[in-house]
Structure 1
Amino acid sequence: MKTNEVPQDKGNYKNRDQSRKVVYATDEKGEYTTVNSDGWEVEHLATIQAWDQAKLELEEVLDGIRKGALSPLAYFMKKNLMDTGILARHVGKWGWQVKRHLKARVFAGLPESMLQRYATTFNITVADIRNFNPDTAEQH
């Protein structure tokens, strides 16, 4: 895209004074340069759809916790936009082990040291994990 074609759709950022996006475009010499953009409506709509999908998935996780099928770890994983592979790398476990820990039955038997690894990863306390209440969880 050329510098004069960079989208400038105003109104796509919450804080108009400070939020601008830097994108790469080609100048008149055909060389890459950075250009400030006020946003792009298509990108903005795609981002809104992605966040709506994330909220929907988070609500599904909360329902799974309420039903006793999932552990609170599933909530914190989803809330932090992680999957089992990413979470496994953070806590030093295999993906299949983390998948097991997402089951309420297995979670109930996890040692304090493992819960601490999860708490550190999510930047919360072990008490936050143990005392998690899906009905009072922040959903945004």
Structure 2
Amino acid sequence: MKKEEVPQDSSNLSKSNLKELCYATDENGNYITALSSGWEPKTIALQNSIEDINERIEQAKSDVASGLASPIVYFMELHKMDWTTLAGYVGMWVWRVKRHAKPSVFQKLNDKILGKYAEAFEISVSDLKKYKGN
């Protein structure tokens, strides 16, 4: 694309003043770099991703409130982690972290293990223990 054709989408996602480096051609056909604030398809994709993440957070919150999941699930979603990522942060096997997502198992965890989760989520052990999905 030519330098003057580099997309500059003025959506609400571009208000952060972040620019993306793109390659374009100048009037002589030489490749140059140009800054882009984004384009509509990318904005739509990002907005859809954000909506999906927010839905997953709300579902996790609801699951904790109804006793279907432990607070670990909510904070994992809130911090945009998956099981593998969380397991890496706390230094445990994925199957073990998934097991801790069960409320009955979570209630029996000691403060040392809960401390690993709290550190990963950047909260206190007390906040992790008392979260009820409210």
Work out whether the TM-score is over 0.5: yes
Q: Which residue of 1 aligns with 2:109?
A: 110
> What code does the residue aligned with 2:18 have?
R
Give the match for residue 25 of structure 1: 23
Q: Are the equivalent residues in 1 in contact too, given 2:14–2:38 (CA < 8 A)?
A: no
Identity %: 34
Q: Which has the higher helix share?
A: 2
Task: Return the offset for 1:4.
Answer: 3.5
Task: Please give the secondary structure, in 2, of the residue aligned with 1:127.
Answer: helix
Deviation digits for residues 80-116 of structure 1 (CA, Å, limit 9, x no counterpart): 1100000000110011011001111111111101111
Which residue number corresponds to residue 3 of structure 1? 3
Q: Are 1:12 and 1:39, in contact at CA under 8 Å, matched by a contact in 2?
A: no
TM-score by length of 1: 0.84
Counterpart of 2:127 in structure 1 is 128
Structure 2 residue runs without a partner (length 5+): none
Normalising by structure 2, we get a TM-score of 0.87
What is aligned with 1:138?
none
SS in 1 for 2:22: strand
RMSD: 1.8
Once the two structures are superposed, the pairs formed by residues 1-140 of structure 1 within 5 Å of their partners are 1-13=1-13, 15=15, 19-27=17-25, 28-30=29-31, 33-135=32-134
Q: Post-superposition, which runs of at least 4 consecutive aligned residues in structure 1 deviate over 6 A? A: none
1:6, 1:37 within 8 Å by CA — same for their partners in 2?
yes
How many residues were matched structurally?
131
